[in-house]
Every structure is written in C-alpha cells, then in structure tokens.
A and B are shown apart, each in its own frame.
Chain A
Amino acid sequence: MPSNPMGEPSWRIGPKLAGLFLVLVATLCWSAPRTPLDVNEVLERLVVKAADPSTALLRGYQKAVGNAPADVRAVGDLARLYFDLAGESGDPRYVGYAEALINRYPAALPAELLFVRGLLRQYRHAFAEAQQDFAAVLASKPDFLEAQGWRGAIFLVQADYANAKLACDALGAAGAPTLQAGCLGLTLAYTGQLAPAYRELERGLALAGNPSNRLWLLTRLAEVAAWQGRVALAEKHYRSALSLGISDAYLLAAWSDFLLDQRRPLEVIRDLTGREASDPLLLRLALAHQQTASSKAPVLEKMLEERFAATRLRGDTTHRAEEARYTLMLRRNVNSALVLAQANFEVQREPRDARIVLEAALAAGDPAAAKKVQSWLQSSGFHGAPLSQQMQALEALPKGKP
C-alpha cells in the first residue's frame, strides 16, 4: 500500500466510499418480511410510557369520552390533549386520533370543538378550512382569544398582513398584551419594519415570565437580529433561549440554520446528533455533515430520501419546504427543487419559504422562477439578510432562462 506524506493509510482518503458502504449496509438491513426466532425479541419500544404522567391523564380522558361520547368537555379535553402531544412529540399520529375523535362527535360541533378542529386543520396546512372554523368560533364567541391568535398566525403565514394586524389589535383590545406584542412584532418584521419589530418583541419579552413564552420570543428576536445583520446579537438571543433548558425543535432548527449560515457545522452536529427522529432536524444535521464532507452525509441523505418517499406515497405535502431544501442542497436536483419550493410558496409565505425559492432560482440561473417571491418582497416590504442579497444577485442575472 503506498503511504502518503502524512503517513496515513491511503484508505483514509475515502470517506465517501465509507459512506456508500454504510448506505449499502443500511439498504441491506432494510429487510424483507421475516420471522423472528426469539419470542423475547423486542420489536418496538413505545413512545408513550405507561409511567408518564401524561399517560395517566390520557387514560383518564379516554375513559371519560368512553363514558360520555357526547360530552363537549370530555371530547374537547381529550382532543386538545392529543393536539398538545402532537406538538410536544412532533408525532402527527395524534392529530389523526384527535380528528377521528371529533368526527365521531354525535352532534353539530360546538365552538370549543370547532376550535380544536381548526387547530388540527392548520396542522396539516389546510389553512382555508382552519380559518373557516376559527371564523365560526369567533362569530359565536367573539371573546375566544385563542381563535383570534391562531387566525393571526395563519394570516402571517399566508402573507395577509392587514388581517394579521387586525387580529393582533383584537388581542390587545381583549387584554392580552403579551400575545399582542408577539403577534405585532412578527407582523412588523414580515413587513420590513425590523427595528420596530425588534422593539415590540423586546416589549413582549419584558412582559413574559413563563419560560416557554420567553423561549419563543427570544427565538424570534434572534431571527430579527439575524435579518438585520447583527450576527453577534442574534447569537446572544439564541444562546439565552437555549440556556432555558427546554427542548424545543423550532428553536433547534432556527439555531442550526443560523450556524449553517455562519459555516459552523460542527456545532450543529453537536446539538442535533440524536435528534434524527424529526425530518426537519435530520435535514439540518445532514446539511452540517455535508459542510464537513463527512462520511455520514450520504447515510443521512438516504434516510431523508426514505422519509420523503414515505410521505409522498400518502400524498402528504406538508414537508415540501424541507424537501425542496433537501432536493437542492443534498440531491443537487435544481429543477425538482424549484418546483417544490414554488409549490410550497403558494401555501406558505414566510421569509424561510421565500429563501428556498430564491436559492433554487439562483442555482437554476432563472430569475423568472422567483417572480412570485419578488412581488412578495415588493408588496410586503420585507428585507433582511441573506434574502435581500439573494434577490439582488438574481436580478443582476441576464433575463430569460439560459
């Protein structure tokens, strides 16, 4: 074996080969149906532990519904518990359980259940139907603050800032200043008023005592700071949020994106290893391994491919933003990525959704492909790093597809 000047065995230069080997092993392990030999072989470890306090609560609620299937309170409590479990664990099965539960309700849905149905519908990106439910709730109960809050959140995602502002104001009028500050801060940020947005979110943070509310506001403050180009300040907010010690997947995803933008993949690998269960976090972990050119990158890429294939099979499109990023950055299939990013932008219009369209259009050298993002930037007034720079780079390209 010829040795190189560093004295390392020459096979060390082949991390890609090692990765391919791992992929092969993983593929082989993707077994066909088999008959286990040992009756004690553990096939599945359940996520819901019998000893968890939430399990006792769940059992109690399930029993209550069993005893009184038409009791609004019992059905509402169980459906909301399912929804909360979906949010905490990220497991969409709970959303299906809650929907089935509400579908089984034997009478016309009262406001409380309509509200939960709205929550479930927005979870799977059926925004129009969700808004119908929230509107119906508010029509019968105008002081239903939560419905108002969610309405605002959906308006923001759909880039309807006038209606989002109305929802924020309604929250303020109803005496929910923290909620109003969060709502207003985001509306201001998405319409390009970054400095007032930052102040509004800071005001909300000063009012918030609850750690999970602080975590959310700190995360949003960090995002606004990053758009302003104040990298050190953004990092300070992210670190404050992380130091709260709450496991929050949204925070981890935003923090990882921040680090990836700073080309600091090792910290992403440190923070996300062990979090592969979640597709969005797995994506960021794979991107970090790609930045380090590590042999794990192809293995994670293969895992993502399988996950996206599984959701595609059932016609699920809620992960299109992630899939677009995966297709562009990891698969390097520019045209497919562009189609996915554009389709996602039809449904969700937040800065991160715009960014992936811009990146795919830049990779394709096709300014026309980002027309909708361009008009969103113009109409909303949003600006921020790195979107504004990407848009400029795209506009500098010669018109028309090469």
Chain B
Amino acid sequence: MSRQFEFLTRFAMALACMVLPLSSAMAHKSSDSYLTVRASGDQVNVQWDIALRDIQFAIGLDDNGDDQITWGELQRRQSELQAWAASRLSVQRGGRCTLKEQALQVDEHTDGSYAVLALSGSCPRSQGPLTIQYSLLFDLDAQHRGLLKLDLDGLVHSSVLGPQNSVMQFSDNASLGAQFLRYLQEGMWHIWIGFDHILFLLALLLPAVLVRQGAGLRGAASFRQAGLGVLWVVTAFTLAHSITLSLAALELISLPSRAVESAIAASVVLAAANNLHPVVQARWAMAFFFGLIHGFGFASVLAELGLPAGSLALSLVSFNLGVELGQLAIVAVFLPLAFVLRHTPFYQLGVLRAGSLAALVVALVWFVERAFDLSVFWWA
C-alpha cells in the first residue's frame, strides 16, 4: 500500500518538476562560476567568482557547523581554496601561464555570495592562440558551468565551459575583420576626443571659405573655390600625419612625447595667430608641416593601445583610416555651415576672429602646461 503512495507522489512530482522546477526556500539555480580572463600580450589577469555554497560542498567552509559561512571562515580556508581552484584551471599561451593568487574578496550574484579570486601572471608567449582548460566541480556537479568572459588583446569572447567542452582555444587573429573595426573605431574616437587636433584643423579651415580683397576679406565666390581650399588643407594634413604616424608606429623614429604634445599646442597657437595676422598664405604648407608633428601624437595613442605583432600593418592602416574618417566627419559638418554663413559679419568677425582668438588663448594655456609640465586649469 505505502509503496503505491510513494509511486503516486513521484508521479505527481514528475509532472510538477517538468513544468516548474520549483523551490521552497531561497533563490535557486544551477551552479555557475564567473570566470573573467584578460590577456594582453604575455600578461594575464583572472577574476574568478565561485559560489560559497559550491566551495562548501567541495572542500567545506562552515568550520563551526552553525550553518553559516563567515568572512573569517572563508579567510581561514584561503590557501586551500586557492590551491583547489588553481588545480582546476589552466591558461595557456605558448605554454602554461603562471598564475599567482592575489587578493581574496567577496561578491553577490542572484543565488548568493561568491568568493572572488584574483589571479595574475604571465605566459610564455605574447601572441598566438590562448587556451583555457577548466574542470572546476565537474567531478561533483555535472550541471556546473564556467561562464567565461575573455578579453584577448582587445577581442572579447564569451563561452560556457562544461564537462563536454572543458578545453577551449581562442585565436587572437581569427577575426581580422574585428581587429580592423576595432582600430578604425579607435582612430575615429581619438580624433573626436582629441580637441587639439580638431582645433588645429578648424583654425586652418576657418579662412578657407573666404578670399582676400584688398585689406579685408569676402566670401568665396563659389562652393568649388571654398571646397578646393579645404581639400588642399585636409590632404596635406592627412598626408603628413600618415607619414609620421607610420614611421613612429614602426619604431623607425621616436620623439619625446612632451616635446610632441607641446609642439602640437604650439601649432594651434600659430594657426590661430595666422588667422588674426596673416603671415603665411599657403595654409596647406602649414597643414603639412604641423601635420608631421600631429602624426607623432597619434602614434603615442596607438602605442598605448598596443599593436598586435601579427597584424601590425592592418591595425596601422585601420587606425589611420579611422582618423581620416573622423576628420572627414568634421569637415562634412563644417564646410556647408561655413559656406552658408561666409558673407555674414557673424562669420567673419564672430567665428573667424573671435574664434581664432579663443583658440589661441586655449592653445597657449595648453602649451604652457605641456612645455613646463604645469597644471593651469584643473580640467585641462
């Protein structure tokens, strides 16, 4: 009799569980660990969130048996925990990377508290594919998964590590397209946030829609005339900074960055001053000459990003292309507006003269700051 009741209970539970894996106590989900790996060249940093419940099940944490895990209890098991975890993870790049334990912290996820392990170290090689081998808890919990987020030299991968796929290899150059796009974006982004480059370009472009007439200025007669002036300046600037960007990125020439940054500020000062008291008529020549210096500025940004050895040329070209695209966007906004307003006193006085004066003042401040390593404005 009782056997039959037991069957019915199970049968009932079958239907209930299939539809609603339900709980009666606390937030429930299957076991996951959150593994974040950042690899840049031969350096690797790991953040690994492992549920305290899982650690309790695997190695035990509740020393005093009061059904609670305290920070003290977790700390006491730190070395055991780290040894256990480290034996179940390996990161390889040209061989196994050494991973040294850093601080132990804690965090919360939807199903409770997690120990946060920080590991860092270096790999035998700074390029090539990276392999992750993961076997945390698989021997104890077949439904455990490692949720991996990997940043490999700027390329981000997400994966789920499970018993069936516990080893995963990630290629650092599998997606040249993604790399191309990344450097393109960086190039565009840099010109957009690089106020000194924008200001220099604008200072040279402001007079392009005007022509000299006796002692004064008047608006250019045609869009073609104005457009040609802009084209000369932009082409010369592009050509020049492409040359020095490439030379610097390929490490054929290198200049001290403070000198470069100061010279960039000085170039804005001179370009703006030339609008107020014209000395140089051939602005394209100024664009070319100072463009050479701006190229070194771009190169230092690229150096910070890091150039992948395997696809150096591609990254260089796409970064440069990004810079040009960003520049074109500025011109595309500037030229029609300036052309429409070119006859107005607002443009000739307010924009050209007052604007150049303002640019001159700002650039002068930059120059002083950069050349003498001062901080004049807190925001600068």
Residues of A that sit less than 8 Å from B by CB: 30-36, 38-50, 86-93, 95-97, 99-100, 103-104, 119, 122-125, 145-146, 149-150, 152-154, 156-157, 176, 178-179, 182-183, 186, 208-210, 212-213, 216, 247-250, 253, 275-281, 306-307, 310-311, 313-316, 318-319, 321-322, 348, 350, 352
Q: Do A209 and B5 contact each other (CB < 8 Å), given the known contacts A38-B71, A46-B62, A125-B18? A: yes
Q: Do A310 and B14 contact each other (CB < 8 Å), given the known contacts A39-B71, A179-B8? A: no
> Considering the chains assembled together, what is the distance between the CA atoms of A162 and B24 in angstroms?
35
Is there an interface contact between A42 and B69, defined as CB atoms closer than 8 Å? yes
Is there an interface contact between B25 and A91, defined as CB atoms closer than 8 Å? yes
- Closest Cβ of chain A to B367, distance in Å, is 40
B143 contacts across to A, CB distance below 8 A: 92-93, 95-96, 99, 124
> Considering the chains assembled together, what is the distance between the CA atoms of A86 and B30 in angstroms?
11
Is there an interface contact between B10 and A314, defined as CB atoms closer than 8 Å? no
B69 contacts across to A, CB distance below 8 A: 42-44, 46
- Closest Cβ of chain A to B225, distance in Å, is 53
B62 contacts across to A, CB distance below 8 A: 46, 50
A250 contacts across to B, CB distance below 8 A: 15-16, 19-20, 22
- Closest Cβ of chain B to A386, distance in Å, is 18
Is there an interface contact between A318 and B14, defined as CB atoms closer than 8 Å? no
A47 contacts across to B, CB distance below 8 A: 25-26, 53
Q: Do A149 and B11 contact each other (CB < 8 Å), given the known contacts A43-B52, A310-B109? A: yes
- Interface segment among B99-107, B207-215, B280-288, B344-352: the answer is B99-107
B52 contacts across to A, CB distance below 8 A: 43-44
> Considering the chains assembled together, what is the distance between the CA atoms of A20 and B205 in angstroms?
48
Is there an interface contact between B25 and A45, defined as CB atoms closer than 8 Å? no
Is there an interface contact between A182 and B24, defined as CB atoms closer than 8 Å? no
Is there an interface contact between B105 and A46, defined as CB atoms closer than 8 Å? no
A-B contact pairs, 25 of them (CB 8 A): A33-B47, A33-B107, A34-B105, A34-B106, A35-B106, A86-B21, A88-B24, A90-B21, A96-B30, A96-B31, A96-B141, A99-B142, A104-B139, A149-B7, A179-B8, A216-B12, A249-B20, A250-B22, A253-B20, A279-B23, A281-B22, A313-B32, A313-B147, A314-B30, A314-B145
Is there an interface contact between A210 and B70, defined as CB atoms closer than 8 Å? no
Is there an interface contact between B25 and A90, defined as CB atoms closer than 8 Å? yes
- Nearest neighbor of A103 in chain B, beta-carbon distance: B142
- Closest Cβ of chain A to B25, distance in Å, is 6
Is there an interface contact between A280 and B20, defined as CB atoms closer than 8 Å? yes
- Closest Cβ of chain B to A270, distance in Å, is 17
> Considering the chains assembled together, what is the distance between the CA atoms of A314 and B149 in angstroms?
12
Is there an interface contact between B68 and A44, defined as CB atoms closer than 8 Å? yes
- Closest Cβ of chain A to B75, distance in Å, is 7
- Which one, B28, B31, B67, contacts A89 given CB within 8 A? B28
- Which one, B26, B107, B116, B138, contacts A100 given CB within 8 A? B138
Is there an interface contact between B103 and A176, defined as CB atoms closer than 8 Å? no
> Considering the chains assembled together, what is the distance between the CA atoms of A96 and B139 in angstroms?
10
- Which one, B23, B70, B106, B113, contacts A90 given CB within 8 A? B23
Is there an interface contact between A183 and B11, defined as CB atoms closer than 8 Å? yes
Is there an interface contact between A157 and B147, defined as CB atoms closer than 8 Å? no
Is there an interface contact between A212 and B139, defined as CB atoms closer than 8 Å? no
> Considering the chains assembled together, what is the distance between the CA atoms of A86 and B19 in angstroms?
14
- Nearest neighbor of A322 in chain B, beta-carbon distance: B20
- Which one, B10, B110, B144, contacts A96 given CB within 8 A? B144
Q: Do A276 and B19 contact each other (CB < 8 Å), given the known contacts A35-B105, A97-B141? A: no
A350 contacts across to B, CB distance below 8 A: 19
- Nearest neighbor of A276 in chain B, beta-carbon distance: B27
> Considering the chains assembled together, what is the distance between the CA atoms of A395 and B371 in angstroms?
78
Is there an interface contact between B11 and A31, defined as CB atoms closer than 8 Å? no
B257 contacts across to A, CB distance below 8 A: none
Q: Is B224 located at the chain interface by the 8 A CB criterion?
A: no
> Considering the chains assembled together, what is the distance between the CA atoms of A89 and B28 in angstroms?
9
Is there an interface contact between B4 and A179, defined as CB atoms closer than 8 Å? yes
Q: Is B222 located at the chain interface by the 8 A CB criterion?
A: no
Knowing that A42-B68, A93-B141 touch, tell me 11 more A-B residue pairs with CB under 8 angstroms.
Answer: A44-B52, A44-B56, A46-B69, A96-B141, A100-B140, A150-B14, A153-B11, A213-B8, A249-B16, A278-B28, A279-B28
> Considering the chains assembled together, what is the distance between the CA atoms of A31 and B144 in angstroms?
24
B256 contacts across to A, CB distance below 8 A: none
> Considering the chains assembled together, what is the distance between the CA atoms of A216 and B15 in angstroms?
10
Is there an interface contact between B110 and A310, defined as CB atoms closer than 8 Å? yes
> Considering the chains assembled together, what is the distance between the CA atoms of A38 and B107 in angstroms?
15
- Nearest neighbor of B62 in chain A, beta-carbon distance: A46
Is there an interface contact between A123 and B17, defined as CB atoms closer than 8 Å? yes
- Closest Cβ of chain B to A132, distance in Å, is 16
> Considering the chains assembled together, what is the distance between the CA atoms of A249 and B13 in angstroms?
10
Is there an interface contact between A179 and B28, defined as CB atoms closer than 8 Å? no
- Nearest neighbor of A308 in chain B, beta-carbon distance: B110
